[in-house]
Amino acid sequence: MVPIKLITVEVAYAMPMRQEILTVQVTEGSSIFDVINQSKIVEIFPEIDLEKQKVGVFSKLKKLTDQVKEGDRVEIYRPLLMDPKDARRAKGALKKRK
């Protein structure tokens, strides 16, 4: 019988006024989706929608099916309120008016 190896990872989510970083022990070979579910962060932030929001590990985009490694920090990214290009255009237009 092969012993089950546990690894420690973090799950992070941030809102403008609140952020949580939860430490979770999971079975080696767990997916990002498994880690998020086990962390129960969706109970803290029910607005999280994994079908729409992107995820990553240490600021690098990943898929929910990707496996985590010991020490990884799984990050759930909030949807953008505005496309970055549109935001720059709007900012430039404001400067021109002044």
pLDDT in tens, 14-68: 998 899 999 999 999 999 999 999 999 999 999 999 999 999 999 999 999 999 9
Q: Is the pTM of this model over 0.85?
A: no
Put the strands of the sheet holding 18-27 in their side by side order: 18-27, 6-15, 73-76, 55-57, 60-62
Residue 47 to residues 37, 53, 87: CA-CA distances in angstroms? Answer: 14, 10, 24
Q: Name the pLDDT band for 79 (thresholds 50, 70, 90).
A: confident
Asked whether residue 49 is assigned to any structural domain, the reply reads yes
Task: Give me the amino acid identity at 74.
Answer: V
Domain CATH code at residue 45: 3.10.20.30
| Number of separate domains in the chain | 1
More confident residue, 85 or 75: 75
Structure confidence at residue 3 (pLDDT): 82
pLDDT of residue 2: 75
Instruction: Name the residue range of residue 70's domain.
Output: 6-97
Give the separation between CA 96 and CA 32, rounded to whole angstroms.
45
What's the rounded mean pLDDT across residues 69-80? 93
Is residue 1 assigned to a domain? no
